Amino acid sequence: MNNKYITVSIKNIPQGHSGFSLIELLIASTLGLFIIGGVITSFIGTKDADRMRSAISEIDSNARFAMQILREKISHAGYPSTTNQMLDKPFYTPSDGEPTNIACGTGTIFDSSNLGAVQPTEDEHTQDQEAKGDILTVVYLADNPCVDGVTSCTGSTNINPKALVYTDCTGGGSSRDARAVACSVDNMPNPQDAKIYSTFYMSSVKHTLYCRGSRGGVQPLVDNIQNIQYLYGVNHDNGTTEYLRAEVVETSDLWGLVKSVRVGLLMRSSEKFLLKEDGPDEYRVLNNNISVTDLRRLYRVYSTTIFLPNMYKGELK
């Protein structure tokens, strides 16, 4: 072919098919920006909502777990064991002095280090200590986890089916070994010396709920607890129940009349900057106002009442 170029004539193309004008392109671009902006806004809103739902779910889950552990161990307060050795006081308090390291049935002292670190039940909260909650220590007696005459019951045939309680809040003593047997009520020289202590307290630095057991040391339980509060239900002769702080119960020597415990938790989100604006700087937990400083966190208050069946001494039917 001799022609180097091919010329295409567009003069006969209909006017309606000649492309977009500048105005049409501008309009289309503007509409596109609005659509993209709407999509981005929707995405951001959905992401924020997902973060909030995730935070609420995490807080609820931590609160349920904390309440479950507290309910299980606090309800053991004053447990008299299967031998019905009644305890007059279901909680360890400052007036009791330091627990004594008493030799178990074998003559060996097993709890010397853990027992000396047990903390008494006290009101620790003051208005300027936002992350320092109350301390509670329950006391109960240890059943023998093995059948009579057996010093270690790892096999199912040697397990005492009547034994209900023989561990502390860390699970210490659950191995059913010679130690647990020797320190139970039917092996101690004085059955009322077979006491187990379970202390619940929180770290003001890590915002973690800990338990300290006389048989198992220290163990962290739940994170992101801002504060924990307790009130003690004292039953009066007229049938009414008055919920009091530990200091009042201790001063009036009313521990033997405590039939229930109210627990209040102030939980917080693990994410520090969850909220877009500052939230409240104070929350009501039971009968205390708890101040907070991380105002962009999400906080939620939980409470429950735990009855002490072992302190009714036959009154409940």
**Domains of the chain: which residue ranges?**
46-311
Would you tell me how many other CB atoms lie within 10 Å of the CB of residue 86? 13
**CA separation for the pair 266, 285 (Å, rounded):** 7
- 239-275, pLDDT tens digit by residue? 899 999 999 999 999 999 999 999 999 999 999 999 9
Residue holding tokens 């770290």? 203
Give the rounded percent of residues in the chain with a pLDDT score beyond 90. Answer: 51
**CA separation for the pair 195, 122 (Å, rounded):** 19
Mean pLDDT for the stretch of residues 130-142: 86
Give the range among 154-163, 211-220, 281-290 with minimum mean pLDDT: 154-163
Mean pLDDT for the stretch of residues 130-150: 87
Mean pLDDT for the stretch of residues 160-168: 90
> If pLDDT is split at 50, 70 and 90, which confidence band does 66 have?
very high
State the DSSP H helix or E strand holding residue 301, giving kind and residue range, or none if neither.
strand 299-307
pLDDT of residue 234 exceeding 70: yes
> If pLDDT is split at 50, 70 and 90, which confidence band does 128 have?
very low
Half-sphere exposure of 138 (CA within 13 A, CB side): 32
pLDDT mean across residues, the chain: 85
DSSP symbol at 95: G
> If pLDDT is split at 50, 70 and 90, which confidence band does 315 have?
very low
Q: Determine contact, residues 308/236, Cβ cutoff 8 Å.
A: no
- 219-229 as b/e: b if 16+ CB within 10 A: eebbbbbbbbb
Mean pLDDT for the stretch of residues 7-26: 60
